[in-house]
Amino acid sequence: MPGFSDLKKGLSSIESLERELNLKQLQINRLLNITQAINNNVSAEGLFNMYRSFLSWEIGVKKMALFVQDEEGGKWKCTASIGIEEEIPTAEVSKQFYKYTRLISVDEAEHPFIRRFDVVIPVRHKEKSIAYVFIGGFNEEDDMYNKVQFITTITNIVAVAIENKRLFKRQLEQERLKREMELAGEMQRMLIPKQLPYTSCYQLDSIYKPHYGVGGDYFDFMEFDNGRIIFCIGDISGKGVAAALLMANFQANFHTLIKKQADLGEFVQDLNHSVNLITKGERFITFFIAAYDMKTQTLSYVNAGHNPPVLVNDGQVQLLDRGCTILGSFPKLPELEVGEVNLDGEAIVLTFTDGLTDLQNEKEEYLNEQQLYRFVRSNYKLTATDFNKKLMGYLEAFKGENIYPDDFTVLTCKIFTPGHSQG
């Protein structure tokens, strides 16, 4: 018959097993709670609070610091802690993280903050470190191995859930930006003229290649009954919906103001004022506008900080560079000069945005202005359409396998003066 001491030992063993079983059941229940919270899309802050509460109350952790990366995935931050009252030197501590690729004791750690803990548990997801938890304050009688194993499990679950939230949010942001760019591209395509004039006196033709479907390039024209045609090209700063909205407003102002048929200088001053009112000087537009009068055979123009267009008049090359500074930066343009050229023979005007001269060949050499001038001079007798087709062939051959690095727009105006007219 067993003695009293043996019975006492048996009861103590049963009580110990019951306590361990209760603890396991508690851990499983909390694990289920956290899993359910993740499925219910509980916020990151809510998950961190559950994690901290579980480690403190159910596991009995005295010291803990959990570090995860911010939403941009760049900087580390402490999102949950136990037993730490002072401010945590996160920037300094995070410099030590590269040393920890597996669960390890940190007794010999260099940084004094880390030495306050017993172990560090790194969490990796798809070969990337996404969290580090430092644990300390264990009692000698604690089953440290089992506790650390369970802490590792629950930390992995919470950290991966937070990482998935971050990746999902980034995916949503990327989809939103993609849709925004699509909308901006649709808006801009609506603003760009689809049909350009071809008469016995002049012809317009364009090449329009916005970068990734959206850009800041703009061109337009207006014909008048008195034998006058006005054409323009511009480059609006910025990308996306903001640039598209500014372009829409700019186009509306262009058509409203140009109908006054005022002097080009007055028109550009008014246009600059309208841009400045909208942008408050925070955005700008490089702009070139020209007016050709068929009766006087005179080309008047203003260049507002734009790439100088190339005019070839009866074989002579001239840059159209007179004008003023960019539009939108000042309420009133400080200086403005209207350029004027008399056309004596067959002429062509090549206007373009800076994406043209940003083009590089496979040797990383840029398309320079002299190459462009020679091309225009050699081909100025072509119609605008044939000129642009030949120009595209020239650019394709020049760049080889390279891509167009930026928005790329060309507006070519061919002028047929008397004696050189085309019917």
Residue-by-residue DSSP string for 318-338: EE---EES-BSSSSS-S----
Q: What is the pLDDT of residue 219?
A: 94
The answer to whether the beta carbons of residues 357 and 369 sit under 8 Å apart is yes
Computed from CA positions of residues 42, 44, 45, 50, in that sequence, does the dihedral angle turn out positive or negative?
Answer: positive
Which is nearest to 210 in space by CA: 353, 61, 29, 98?
A: 353
pLDDT for 18 equals 64
Residue 290 has a pLDDT of: 97
* Other beta carbons less than 10 A from residue 249's beta carbon: 15
Q: Count H helices, E strands: the chain?
A: 8, 16
Query: What pLDDT is recorded for position 140?
Result: 65
> Which residue is it, tokens 């018959």?
1
The three-point CA angle 228-340-329 to 5° equals: 95
Report field, pTM of the whole predicted structure over 0.75: no
Report the C-alpha dihedral over residues 36, 48, 81, 143, rounded to 10 degrees.
10
Measured at the CA of 7, the angle between CA 5 and CA 10, to 5 degrees, comes to: 110
Based on its alpha-carbon atoms, the radius of gyration of the chain, rounded to whole angstroms, reads 36
Q: What is the pLDDT along the chain (423 residues), one digit of tens a residue?
A: 455 555 555 545 666 566 566 656 666 666 667 777 777 778 888 888 888 988 888 788 899 999 998 877 678 999 999 999 889 999 999 999 988 988 888 877 778 899 889 899 999 877 788 899 999 887 766 667 778 888 888 888 888 888 888 888 888 888 887 777 777 777 777 788 989 999 999 999 999 887 665 667 889 999 998 889 999 999 988 776 777 788 888 999 999 998 886 789 999 999 999 999 988 888 899 999 999 999 999 999 999 999 999 999 988 999 999 999 999 999 999 999 999 999 987 899 999 998 888 888 888 899 988 999 999 999 999 999 999 999 999 999 998 888 877 778 999 999 987 655 454
Distances (CA, A) of 119 to 25, 53, 88, 226: 25, 19, 17, 87
DSSP three-state, residue 68: strand
